[in-house]
Structure 1
Amino acid sequence: MANSRTFKTILLGFGEVLTGIVGILSAAILSRLLPISEYGSYRQVFIIYGTIGPLLCLGLPQALYYFLPRNREQSRSILSSNLAALILLGGLFTLFLWAGGSTLVAKSFNNPQLGSLLCLFAPYTLFALPILAVSPYLVSLDRVQALVPYSVGSRLLMLAGAVLPVLWFRTVETAVIGAVFSTFLASAVGLVLMHRVCRQGEWRPSWAQVKQQVKYSIPLGASGVMGMLSVNFDKLLVSMMSNPAKLAVYANGAMELPMIGVVANSATSVLLPEFSALCQKRDYGKVLQLWHRAMVKCSLILLPVMVFCFAMAPEIIRILFSAKYADSMIPFRIYLLIIPLRITSWSLVPMAAGFNRIVLAVEGVSCFTQVLLGFLLIRIVGANGAAIAAVINTYAAVSLGYLFWIRRYTKISWRHLLPWREISKVLLASLLPGIVFISRSRIITDDYLRVLLLGVFYAGGSVWLFSRFRLIEMNVMFQGVWQWIRSSATR
């Protein structure tokens, strides 16, 4: 069980969810402790890192998934070569910021405070990049049991590092220093953990290994840069075209819920090997059958979440970030409109068919169009135009990019390409229980109680309608839950 693909996928998904939750908790706490403008400057620092990080690491951590299983007897050399490259790249960026790069970046963002914050932040990349190798390394060597405690501990440490100093000093500088110090500790623990797991080969880095890994990982790095740009570019544009206070309000709302991407990504990790075999046999009917089934299952989770969060957006924002960020509700609701596209990973079929260049091309064009559209809409409607641009661009990339290519490749009609009927039934069953939201302000006044009680009623109504629409079988679901409880109790 511990070495199964599904188990590894669950653990990787758990790490992603945990990272997202810690990010939201950190934002929620710092939003309350810091003035809006200082909190906006803090978010600017990490938006810059989130955009440049994939470029710095060049996809090197993912290269471990390829090289370690094939050369276990050289695991130490592979790891040390990977870490040496990551530390070198992180160190170069640190030196760039200290050598005047922080001032250049601050000028481009029209925020003088950002320069001093980036100087304090500079060592972060030196410590953060090696952490990216921990998960691929442990998974590749089938040591996933050690990954969970490290993931939990390191995320909690980073949360404490950013929040606890601010509780005492109430300045943005202490938040940045705390984040750097906690990342240093997490990196040190990760290096020790990998050292203990690593048993074979020499520790001396190999220049030949570094070149091999860089050559393999550059396409992955390019794809990662484009993916992160699509995630962060709207916030980057708002940062450059407005002030930190407006960014703070926008960034708190312009987020995807932690579980959203993980649901589809987990399904992708499980389906990709099987899809590859079926595409090789040109059995596209079976591919679509499995793909449709996965879409419907994911939609049963994601579409109700979208409807509930859209209806309860004012309460959710007030609970998370306080009433002073009430306007964050607008970009939050706009971002929720992307969720219908998150029921699957649209790059799954091109990747399974061996057309990775299609993924790279779609992501590249998508980044370019988002730059143009985001710049235009921010000029017209303000900061929220960046969120609108992100939604429009995402739908265009899926429909004009991935779906158009998949239809041409499989020669399947638009009518049968997606499970339109089933997805429509899921959406209808998710919308109908929304009647519970109509009189919410008259019955319940407390935000926490309102979200809790209406959430319970809404979930119950959605599950009942899913059953009535024959989207799920209640007996099978209850039997599965009961078997899981029994198996957990007997372990």
Structure 2
Amino acid sequence: MSLLKKSLDLTAVNLSQQILNLLFIFLISHQYTSAQYADYRQTFLPFEVASPLLTFSLPAAIFYFYPRFSDKSKLLTLSLHVIALTTFVAGIIIFCGGAKWLSSLFDNEISDYLYLIPFFAFFSIGTTVYQSFLVLSNKTSLLYRINLPINFVSICLLLLCTYLKINIEYLIYLRILTYCVNFLLLTFFIFKSFSYNFFNVDTKSYKTIIGFSYSLTLAAIIGTLSYELDKIIISSYDSPENFAIYINGAFEIPMISILTGAVSSAMLSQLSPLLNENKYKEAASLFKNTISLTAQFIIPIFIFSLFNSEEIILLLFGDKYLDSILPFRIYLLLLPIRVIFYGQALIALGKSKIILKRGVIELIINLILSLILFKIIGFNGVAIATVITILIWTVPFNLYEIKRGFGVKILEIIPLKKIGNTMLISGIIYIPTTLLINELVTSLLLGFIIKLIIGCGLYILVLKKFNLINYTALGNKLS
């Protein structure tokens, strides 16, 4: 199965999941108070922060181990063992006072909901592990045959619950139930495919996996702390209302995670075997071609979103979150670097200790800058600190290590000319279109739709007219 085909299958799955997640955020922020919205977001925040420790980086490490394990079912069994253990320990911590401590930390009465998070963690992480195995075993079509119907039913239930203005706790239950049903169905079908024995314990294989994953896990924990540091600081030192404003501005455009998540998983499934066979030139070429493909989508989204950020925030969250526009614009500055899959390349190269080193320094820089700028200019300063840290430290370090790992020059892995051309074309198309439609159309929603349709149409037309990208040829390279 080609990388392009895998990417399309995973895009369908991620799209349905992101629509569901976005609807949760959109409907709760509109139909409930800011305090209730903060309750919902802060209930799942501990999982988001602790997820690297709970997953033990297995969803990513599986891509490294899969071509190196002759018995694939054993790798799956060991992965599920580790997840069961980590979420069980998390449950003990939550039930032995962790829930009440977190509730007091956030200044919210959410301790009753937090008792459900260990179950949510197991179902969510287990589903991610299954997804990795299905990608590697070329069975991605099974994912969307299961995910799409479940997410559709969940969307219908969500719309009904918010229409009836049912208590916020039932929306939390609904999200957890969605992951539970998804996990159970995937377990049934994967059990038939891999015939794994959950009680088959292999101590030697445990040591092999843990030996590779521990530094990767530490790096992921530190990386997530750095990524979630802004939310932790604002939750601890600011009001729930300001947290709600900030987190809406810090949200990621759904299409980005859909695209990058699909392409990165598909790329890693092919990159790891190439590196395992010491085919570094071919791996570097695959890496570069993947960036070329991704840039054609992410760069236009970046330009469009930057000049239509006010409309995006107001349409999604309403007038009461007008202050979310500035942090949203600040975080948009990180969007162009999402065309490069740094973490996946370093994992495939087996550089887990390098990832750890990068993460420690990133966390220190981010923490110092965040605290200083938060004291000076409030929560927007935390967003600025995160962007500065990533641009001055994380990106240059990643590029240097990837270049050295592949044994090539920087221009052999980064198509700078194509990225620059895409940025220029997108700016020429979207900026005048946005300014013109803003003058002619007064309706916020109608104007946004018109700008989106005209901008996308012109962009695709220019690409085809001047033959700036040949998707057929690129697809063949990614096969």
TM-score range, shorter chain: 0.7 to 0.9
1:205 maps to 200
How far is 1:9 from its partner?
Answer: 4.2
> In the alignment, does 2:268 pair up with 1:272?
no
How far is 1:141 from its partner?
Answer: 4.2
How far is 1:444 from its partner?
Answer: 1.2
Structure 1 window deviating more from structure 2 (400-409 vs 420-429): it is 400-409
Give distance in 2, aligned partners of 1:12 and 1:321: 28
Give distance in 1, aligned partners of 2:413 and 2:66: 38
1:486 maps to none
Conservation of the 8 A alpha-carbon contact between 1:31 and 1:321: yes
Conservation of the 8 A alpha-carbon contact between 1:55 and 1:221: yes
Give distance in 2, aligned partners of 1:194 and 1:297: 31
How far is 1:182 from its partner?
Answer: 3.3
> In the alignment, does 2:31 pair up with 1:36?
no
Conservation of the 8 A alpha-carbon contact between 2:225 and 2:363: yes
The one of 228, 249, 252 aligned to 1:253: 249
Note the alpha carbon deviations across 1:322-356, whole angstroms, 9 max, x for none: 22222222222111111121121235665565544
Q: Which amino acid aligns with 1:451?
A: F
How far is 1:198 from its partner?
Answer: 3.4
1:330 maps to 326
> In the alignment, does 2:383 pair up with 1:387?
yes
Give distance in 1, aligned partners of 2:444 and 2:218: 43
Conservation of the 8 A alpha-carbon contact between 2:47 and 2:117: no
The one of 16, 20, 23 aligned to 1:22: 20
2:90 maps to 93
Q: Which amino acid aligns with 2:92?
A: L
Structure 2: stretches of 5+ with no match in the other structure: none
Conservation of the 8 A alpha-carbon contact between 1:238 and 1:383: yes
Conservation of the 8 A alpha-carbon contact between 2:245 and 2:323: yes
Give distance in 1, aligned partners of 2:439 and 2:370: 39
1:302 maps to 298
Give distance in 2, aligned partners of 1:297 and 1:255: 24
Give distance in 2, aligned partners of 1:198 and 1:290: 29
The alpha-carbon distance between structure 1 residues 345 and 149, as it changes in their structure 2 partners (threshold 3 A), is same
2:434 maps to 437
Work out the percentage of aligned pairs sharing the same amino acid: 22
Two-structure CA RMSD over aligned residues (Å): 3.7
Give distance in 2, aligned partners of 1:82 and 1:288: 29
Q: Which amino acid aligns with 2:199?
A: R
Conservation of the 8 A alpha-carbon contact between 1:68 and 1:141: no
How far is 1:18 from its partner?
Answer: 3.6
Any runs of at least 4 consecutive aligned residues in structure 1 with deviations exceeding 6 A, and if so which? 286-290, 407-417
Q: Matched residue of 1:133: which SS? A: helix
Conservation of the 8 A alpha-carbon contact between 1:98 and 1:122: no
The alpha-carbon distance between structure 1 residues 162 and 89, as it changes in their structure 2 partners (threshold 3 A), is farther
Q: How does 1:54-93 map to 2 (within 5 A)?
A: 54-62=52-60, 64-65=62-63, 75=73, 78-93=75-90
Structure 1 window deviating more from structure 2 (125-134 vs 157-166): it is 157-166
Q: Which amino acid aligns with 1:82?
A: S
The one of 445, 448, 454 aligned to 2:445: 448
Conservation of the 8 A alpha-carbon contact between 2:212 and 2:352: no
TM-score calculated relative to the size of structure 1: 0.82
Give distance in 2, aligned partners of 1:354 and 1:45: 34
The alpha-carbon distance between structure 1 residues 416 and 138, as it changes in their structure 2 partners (threshold 3 A), is closer
> In the alignment, does 2:121 pair up with 1:125?
yes
The alpha-carbon distance between structure 1 residues 198 and 303, as it changes in their structure 2 partners (threshold 3 A), is closer
Note the alpha carbon deviations across 1:369-398, whole angstroms, 9 max, x for none: 222222222222111222212211221234
TM-score calculated relative to the size of structure 2: 0.84
Q: Which amino acid aligns with 2:322?
A: A
Conservation of the 8 A alpha-carbon contact between 2:366 and 2:386: yes
Conservation of the 8 A alpha-carbon contact between 2:67 and 2:273: no
How far is 1:432 from its partner?
Answer: 1.8
